[in-house]
Amino acid sequence: MSQPVLQLQNVERRYQQGVTALSVLRGGSFGLFAGQSVALAAPSGAGKSTLLHIAGLLERPDGGEVYVDGKPTTGMNDDARTALRRHSIGFVYQFHHLLPEFSALENVMLPQMIAGLSRHEARRRSMDLLAYLGVAARAKHRPAELSGGEQQRVAIARAVANSPVLLLADEPTGNLDPKTAEHVFEALERLVKATGLAALVATHNEGLACRMTRRVTLKDGWLIEPT
């Protein structure tokens, strides 16, 4: 089997709370491969966001190793970690964080133009992505004119606009009604399968989690894959 896009090896994270240390992550290992969408399903407070921040190179673990595309990252300096994050990782959050004064299309075009693509090429790729996620008809609208589900589809398009190998999503449907959440999940899974992206999606919604290719969870700080 090829190497995982993301590999977490015994990742530990502690937060100091006064004199006591709160061990949020204690260990456990996990590999995520291209074309896979994996649910990180655990109750609120279990450490999902902490794990995604560490996997996304936004925070360093206190122990263990994070490999992105086979590269160990904990020993890298901040510049190298930022460069790897920009090149390889896309993020989607519970709130869309789209720029309100730009259209859906422009929101997806901007990161590509910042990365050096021509306006023409960025527009073409963005329209393809929006069409793929089922929101091409809304391309000219600003975020405030879109429904919650449409906003999240645009946020997903923007997150993958520069073709990252890894997509990290933190409760991307946490704000949506169940039916809309299901449709956004379906769109995300289709995209992962079609592009060979790897996605780790944190959710406290067990129903949605069970429908994904794989499911991992956090139990008392241990990252485990239930059988």
Residues that bind ligand ADP (CB under 6 A): 15, 22, 24, 42, 44-50
Between 18 and 100, CB nearer to ligand ADP: 18
Nearer to ligand ADP, 124 or 204 (CB): 204
Rank residues 64 and 143 by Cβ distance to ligand ADP and give the closer one: 64
Residue with Cβ nearer ligand ADP (92 or 139): 92
Q: How far is the CB of 24 from ligand ADP (least distance, A)?
A: 4
For Cα atoms 96, 180, 210, give the angle at the middle one, nearest 5 degrees. 100
Q: Could you give the 3-state DSSP secondary structure of residue 17?
A: strand
Q: Which of 113, 75, 91 is nearest to 169 (CA)?
A: 91
In the complex, what is the shortest distance from the CB of residue 41 to ligand ADP, in angstroms, rounded to a whole number?
Answer: 10
CB-nearer residue toward ligand ADP: 96 or 138: 96
In the complex, minimum distance from the CB of residue 194 to ligand ADP, in angstroms, rounded to a whole number: 28
| Phi, psi values for residue 187, rounded to 5° | -60, -40
* Closest approach of ligand ADP to the CB of residue 208, in Å: 15
Q: What is the distance between the terminal CA atoms of the chain, rounded to a whole angstrom? A: 20
Contact 52/200 with Cβ under 8 angstroms?
yes
Instruction: Give CA separation, 188 vs 45, 102, 135, 172, 206, in Å.
Output: 25, 23, 13, 10, 17
User: What's the min distance (Å) between Cβ of 54 and ligand ADP?
Assistant: 10
Cα torsion angle, 185, 186, 187, 192, sign: positive
